[in-house]
Amino acid sequence: MNVELRHLRALVALAESNTFTTAAAVLGTTQPTLSRTITQLEEITGVRLVERTTREMSLTPAGRQFSATARELLASLNTALDELGRTEAPLRLGWAWAGFGGHTVPLLQEWKRAHAGAVELSRPPDPVAALRRGAIDAALVRRTPSPGPLPGLATATLFTERLVAAIAVKDSRAAKTSVTLPELAQGPVAVCATAPTVTDHLWDHTGHTPHTISVANTDEWLTLISVGDAVGVTAQATTYNHQAPDVAYRPIEDSPPVEVTLAWRATEPHPHAHAFAQFARDYFAQLFDTSTPPFSLNHGENAEEQNTP
């Protein structure tokens, strides 16, 4: 017969209770059963562990030493079982439109290889709102330079990115190699209703204010542009993820870049949120000198920021 967990638990309970009656109650068994279990343990080990008299019991020196070891073994086992049963939730990452463009798959594959951490992707209409209500753990957001704070969120700027115009291929402006903001303001501009990359404030410095048309999602945006009812302004990464045969993308000569930022909750964040942000910053820093869309005019140099209400 081998030593079993029931033998170790019996000895530890006896050491902590000092009487067979109390130890049996703790274990939910009877006193005779507990006594037989201790006797079995002594027979297996070949060592007397408990001194018994008609009035009292006490552990022998060997019994005290072995009970301390048994207590540590049981504690380690319980910890291992707890960790085994605890499955770590994936990092839920959300963005509204373009993600990391052509770098999305390589970046996530490299993260998985280096960290073995699962990432669950989603496209909520408003990633920041989804982050605040706990629907996602991290949000990729695009904002104009020197944006305002995001209260309650920690942020890390990953890189800056060019803006491009989306124009119907039959539009005369699509024949040009690049366009300007005043040229785009000549007609309606389609703007996403939630989490827009740009708003009509993009034209503030030009003296031209375009008429904007609100759209609900990317499909509606592309359709409106395809039929020539509007033009669009979007991040360069959109050109990778959202191609349409009737839409041409052209650089905008006079537009500022946008900051591509990862945001996560400052309090009670996902265990991997900060590590993923640092990983993404390092990933894009390595690509900076040989950048491809959605990259970038400048890699974000600012350190992680924590925004407080």
| CATH code of the domain in which 137 resides | 3.40.190.10
Alpha-carbon gap, residue 147 to 158, rounded angstroms = 14
What pLDDT score was predicted for residue 20?
A: 87
Residues 38 and 114 in one domain: no
pLDDT tens column, 233-267? 999 888 888 889 999 999 999 988 888 999 999 99
If asked whether residues 157 and 285 sit together in one domain, one would say yes
Q: Which helix (H) or strand (E) holds 155?
A: strand 153-161
Residue 301 banded pLDDT, cuts 50, 70, 90: very low
The predicted-structure confidence for 203-226, as pLDDT tens digits, reads as follows 988 888 899 999 988 889 999 999
Q: Which of the listed residues 235, 251, 267 is the one where a domain comes to its end?
A: 251
**Confidence class for position 308, pLDDT limits 50, 70, 90:** very low
- What's the pLDDT score for residue 192? 85
Q: What is the mean pLDDT of residues 163-177?
A: 95
The pLDDT of residue 94: 93
**Residues 179-194: pLDDT tens digits?**
999 999 999 999 987 7
* Contact in structure between 190 and 230 (CB atoms under 8 Å): yes
66 and 131 both lie in a single domain: no
Shared domain for 129 and 268, answered yes or no, is yes
Q: Are residues 262 and 127 in the same domain?
A: yes
- Average pLDDT, rounded, for the chain: 86
Q: 288 pLDDT exceeds 80?
A: no
CB 20 within 8 A of CB 14: yes
Q: What is the pLDDT of residue 195?
A: 66
The pLDDT-based confidence of 85 (bands split at 50, 70, 90) is low
Question: Which of 25, 54, 85 is the endpoint of a domain?
Answer: 85
Q: 146 and 133 in one domain?
A: yes
CA angle 270, 103, 154 (to 5 degrees): 30
> What residues are paired with 302 via a beta bridge?
none
Could you tell me whether strands 189-192 and 138-143 are parallel, antiparallel, or unpaired per DSSP bridges?
A: unpaired
Contact between 6 and 70 under an 8 Å Cβ cutoff? The reply is no
* Better-predicted residue by pLDDT, 174 or 98: 174
Do both 240 and 287 map to the same domain?
Answer: no
My answer on whether 177 and 238 are in the same domain is: yes
More confident residue, 303 or 216: 216
Interval 21-34 mean pLDDT: 87
Give yes or no: residues 125 and 264 share one domain: yes
* 28 confidence band (pLDDT: 50, 70, 90): confident
Q: State which of 66, 85, 104 marks the end of a domain.
A: 85
The pLDDT, as a whole number, for residue 127 is 92
Q: CA-CA distance, 150 to 215, in Å (whole number)? A: 24
Range of the domain at 127: 91-161+257-306
Q: Under DSSP, is residue 266 helix (H, G, I), strand (E, B) or coil?
A: coil
Percent of the chain with pLDDT over 70: 89
Q: How many CA atoms lie within 13 A of 56 on its CB side?
A: 4
pTM across the whole model: 0.65
Q: What is the pLDDT of residue 23?
A: 85
Whether residue 181 is found in the same domain as residue 211: yes
Query: What pLDDT is stored for residue 306 in this prediction?
Result: 53
Q: Which CATH number is 39's domain given?
A: 1.10.10.10
Residues 22 and 167 in one domain: no
Each residue of 141-162: pLDDT tens digit? Answer: 988 766 678 899 999 989 888 8
Residue 300's pLDDT is: 37
Q: Note the pLDDT of residue 193.
A: 79
Number of structural domains the chain divides into: 3
**Could you tell me if 171 and 241 lie in one domain?**
yes
Band of the pLDDT at 86, cuts 50, 70, 90? low
